[in-house]
Structure 1
Amino acid sequence: MSMFLENDPDDGLLNEINMTPLIDVMLVLLIIFIVTLPVMNHAVKVDLPKVAATHDISHEENIDVSVDASGVIFWNKVPVDDAQLAQHVAQAASVASQPIVRIYADRRVEYDRVVNVLAAVQAGGLTRLDFVTDPKVQ
């Protein structure tokens, strides 16, 4: 692009383009891409089902496994030790239709104890696990 300058005594042509606005636009675009690219790459693509949530009214047998604040394990409200827990899990896993294991853990129980109970249940072959919590009251 060339322009005649009226104030120029040489009446010469201006052969240079002002690059400053172009560099500014490029830097702004670069910053936008730097900020948005990691967000796009870390997204998890999940194809979620499109159904209405309904209350589970199935009459399957559920197993309640509780761990109280002192670390004692209860199988359907009966206290058991680790060996008895493994026996109960093996017996429940042998059934054709696997029951749902609902885990109730006291908020003050040690994390290690709950993890050991989860590991014992999963090692025994039960894979349908639910964690039961109280709704938060506001």
Structure 2
Amino acid sequence: MDATSTPADVYRHGLRLLLDKNIAAWVDLWDEQGIFEFPFAPDGWPRWLEGRVAVAEYMRGYPDHIDLHDFPRVEIIETVDPEVIVVEMRGVGRLVATDAPFDMSYIAVVTVRAGRITRYRDYWNPLAVQDPAVHFTGTGDN
């Protein structure tokens, strides 16, 4: 993605990279100082990651824990700030450790400047994923 890419373009491209399990390319969409927030994270899980390196470490094992198959619903809402979008989406797949279905709805507030993600607030429901195998901070997932 380049500096002229819209936030929606960057976000859609990122979803494709996640489906392709190309975590390194997804992390490359981030600004070096990007902030990844999880306002609803349960105790013991990260609530805030600062910088591309921290995001990369957090996401490193994602495909080993969650095998995403599709995002059957993605609605991107533009805001009055051209750098900020609100995304409502649903991701489906399976939990690798148990082969159980994975079905999660998300709301994200994403800021993109010059083609890079500078802030991503991920409002996911931690109660929807009770399997501790899904918890990853560098070796797992959310």
Give the TM-score range, shorter chain: under 0.3
TM-score (norm 2): 0.20
- TM-score after normalising by structure 1: 0.21
Name the larger-Rg structure: 1
Greater fraction of residues in helix: 1
Q: Which is richer in strand?
A: 2
